[in-house]
Amino acid sequence: MIKFRIFTITSIIVLLGTLLTSAPAFAQIDLSGVWGFVRGQYGQENAGGSDIGDFTGIPINDEGRAVGLSFSAAQWSEPERQCQYYSPRYVSTGPFALNVWSDTDPVTGRIVAWNMGAWIDKDIVTVWMDGRPHPSVNAFHPYSGFATGTWEGDTLVIRTTHIKWSVLRINGLQHSDRATMTQYIVRHGDLLSMLTYFEDPVYLSEPFVLSSVWQLNPKANSSRTSPACEPINESPRLENTSIVPHYLPGKNPFANDYARYYNLPLEAAQGGAQTMYPEFRKKLKDVYHYVPPEKCTRYCCDSPDPAVKCVRDGSGQVR
């Protein structure tokens, strides 16, 4: 009897050890809920939109810059683009709430996947937690990409591939379908922090790093799915579907506006990896001397100076 008990206990220990080492671990942190985007981050990007030619601090290469300067905002009026989703990168900076929920195995209770809800301009992103491999590079690229996650302590690490071509920044910068993304998500009480490393061998020379913070809103009711979108004809000129609004190289009339508005050197405004680092200031200090504009006429809210009127966008109008 004693030998049988020892054998039984030993068998149970071995079985438990096998299960723990062969299957993904339970999630350490519950990420479910509706998370509101903390305002003040990427305010201009999520309001009136970033300025044409404002590529500052983005590690684009020459090809990425050329594509950005060829962009015309009239492209958004094309019927085939009006309902087009952004890529999963948009999750990092988008202005809308983030609805997160899990899918569990009905037998084991283990979390099979985390889901980040859709909106009118983005798809549901499913993060697989069951250890499945990423598909072939030639597999279909959905708007949600293909994402897998692992826990490193209390940090959820998400690796996303198979990302469809889309907008990197709303002012015309784009990323290719060879882009990949790594996200680090950590919960701190009712706050959720997200650090994103976005890499693209076609249009970026170094990773594009983004950070964002979300706050739990237990009373929010954010949709998990994307509502219907109906394209309409916004421009008679675009009834001819052979027309794709764009600017030829060197012909974008707005290319230098951002640098001119803020008295910035064009070399800084047009971005590149060097503009991300403090050493870039040393490069400019002997050749560039900043002259502030006479008065603020764009994005002037929250100034401590009572004489500065509140201009919320790039129109120059007090609102």
- Whether 213 and 317 share a structural domain: no
Query: pLDDT value at position 7?
Result: 44
- Whether 177 and 305 share a structural domain: no
Side-chain half-sphere CA neighbours of 253 within 13 A: 1
75 located within any domain: yes
pLDDT digits (tens, 9 = 90+) for 5-42: 444 445 544 444 444 444 444 447 999 999 988 876 77
Q: What does DSSP assign to residue 107?
A: T
Query: pLDDT value at position 130?
Result: 95
- Whether 55 and 146 share a structural domain: yes
- Whether 31 and 164 share a structural domain: yes
10 located within any domain: no
CB atoms within 10 A of CB 96: 18
pLDDT digits (tens, 9 = 90+) for 10-20: 554 444 444 44
- Whether 317 and 219 share a structural domain: no
Per the CB < 8 A criterion, the answer to whether 108 and 102 are in contact is no
On the question of pLDDT at 247 being above 50, the answer is yes
Query: pLDDT value at position 60?
Result: 98
**What's the full length of the chain, in residues?**
319
The two tokens of residue 76 are 């958004």
CB neighbour list of residue 60: distance below 8 Å, 6 or more residues apart: 68, 173, 203, 204, 205, 271, 272
d(CA 188, CA 194): 11
Q: Which domain, by its residues, includes 307?
A: 294-319
9 located within any domain: no
pLDDT band per the 50, 70, 90 thresholds, residue 304: low
CB neighbour list of residue 137: distance below 8 Å, 6 or more residues apart: 161
The percent of residues above 70 in pLDDT, for the chain, comes to 85
249 located within any domain: yes
On the question of pLDDT at 75 being above 90, the answer is no
Cα 15 from chain centroid?
42
* Full DSSP string of 23-69: SPPPPSS---EEEEEPTTTTHHHHTT-PPTT--TT--B-HHHHHHHH
- Whether 222 and 309 share a structural domain: no
Average of pLDDT values for 80-85?
87
CB atoms within 10 A of CB 166: 20
241 or 50, which is more confident: 50
Lowest mean pLDDT among 71-75, 156-160, 275-279, 310-314: 310-314
Side-chain half-sphere CA neighbours of 236 within 13 A: 0
- Whether 107 and 182 share a structural domain: yes
- Whether 97 and 68 share a structural domain: yes
8 located within any domain: no
pLDDT digits (tens, 9 = 90+) for 194-218: 999 999 999 999 999 999 999 999 8
- Whether 63 and 200 share a structural domain: yes
Q: Mean pLDDT score of the chain, rounded to an integer?
A: 85
- Whether 228 and 303 share a structural domain: no
pLDDT digits (tens, 9 = 90+) for 113-130: 999 998 878 899 999 999
pLDDT band per the 50, 70, 90 thresholds, residue 303: low
- If we measure between CA atoms, which residue out of 225, 264, 156, 212 comes closest to residue 38? 212
Number of independent structural domains in the chain: 2
Query: pLDDT value at position 302?
Result: 62
Query: pLDDT value at position 161?
Result: 98
- Whether 115 and 262 share a structural domain: yes
1 located within any domain: no
CB neighbour list of residue 150: distance below 8 Å, 6 or more residues apart: 24, 129, 156, 157
Residue with tokens 């693209």, as numbered in its chain: 200
Please state the pTM of the whole predicted model: 0.83
Average of pLDDT values for 148-152?
97
On the question of pLDDT at 234 being above 90, the answer is no
304 located within any domain: yes
208 located within any domain: yes
- Whether 29 and 124 share a structural domain: yes
42 or 278, which is more confident: 278
Coil, strand or helix at 88: helix
Per the CB < 8 A criterion, the answer to whether 205 and 80 are in contact is no
On the question of pLDDT at 111 being above 90, the answer is yes
CATH assignment at residue 71: 2.40.128.20
